[in-house]
Amino acid sequence: MTAAPVGHHCPTCVAEGRAEAKRIRRPLARPRSVTSAILALNIVVFAVDWVLGLAGRPDTLLEGGAMVPLLVANGEWWRLLTAIFLHIGLLHLAFNSLALLIFGGLIEEAFGSARMLAVYLVTGFFASVTSFTFGSAGVAAAGASGAIFGMLGAWLAYNLRRRSLGVARANVQGALFLIGINLVFGFTVPGIDNLAHIGGLVSGVAAGFAAEGFGRRTTGRASNAAGLAAIALLAVVLALWRTSQLT
């Protein structure tokens, strides 16, 4: 047994705790593969859309892929997913890219590339559906911020599971502070789709737990995938209900 301020701990538990704390605390040494790919895709899409706009073509990527509620209700469901890869202006892209680099990298480091991609797509989709379901039918939306709030929610869930560690508790406090600041900012500054942010955050917390499994011990891959699929299914149900209200 290993002596500790609060008693004695088994050597295996101490080693596991140290390894977990090191992984949580480890800085982002380099962009992760999937995070880098999403960043590159967002930049390329923005550049192509900008060029098409300069050429005066009406069929720009933003016009064809933004989340426009009435068009979604009329059958253009792809907009609920394509909207998370589109941005309105260079500043919009820059802020979202920086946030994605940080939190996407953290989640990819914690969960692995495949699960990070699944969490990103599921929470981004859920964020779009939340905006579509509860927002105004006449307001279009685009941007990766809903999915980024999903990453932040997943990071919160990841650290809540490890709250016995001091560094994890500090990460929880930091995440809650960022969430609070951004939600206040979203409610007070016009033009921000706070519904998408809330949808991404809530689904991100759920996805963060689902990606590792609920309970004290993590579950198998099939169970993890089922949890993420359940979140996506709920989003589909909400979208179908909203469509029935608009058509």
Q: For residue 9, what are the β-bridge partners?
A: 2
Q: Which two tokens stand for residue 12?
A: 């295996």
Query: What is the pLDDT at residue 1?
Result: 53
53 pLDDT more than 50: yes
Which position among 145, 164, 223, 244 bears the catalytic label? 145
- On the question of pLDDT at 9 being above 80, the answer is no
DSSP 178-202: HHHHHHHHHHHSTT--HHHHHHHHH
Q: Which of 22-31, 119-128, 188-197 has the highest mean pLDDT?
A: 119-128
Residues of the chain above pLDDT 90, percent: 66
- The secondary structure element, H or E, covering residue 63 is helix 61-65
Q: Cα separations (Å) of 183 from 66, 77, 108, 188, 193? A: 22, 27, 24, 9, 10
92: annotated active-site residue: no
From 112, 139, 134, 111, select the one nearest 202 (Cα to Cα).
134
Q: Is the pLDDT of residue 22 over 80?
A: no
Give the mean model confidence (pLDDT) for residues 111-139.
95
The pTM for the full model equals 0.85
From the candidates 8, 197, 203, 244, give the one annotated as an active-site residue.
Answer: 197
DSSP 140: -
Question: Tens digit of pLDDT for each residue in 185-210?
Answer: 888 888 889 999 999 999 999 999 99
Mark whether 145 is an active-site residue: yes
Q: Which two tokens stand for residue 73?
A: 């209700």
Beta bridge partners of 3: 8
DSSP string over 16-63: HHHHHHHHHH----S--HHHHHHHHHHHHHHHHHHHHHHTT-S--HHH
As a whole number of angstroms, the distance between CA 12 and CA 233 comes to 40
CATH assignment, 30-246: 1.20.1540.10
* Mean confidence (pLDDT) of the chain: 86
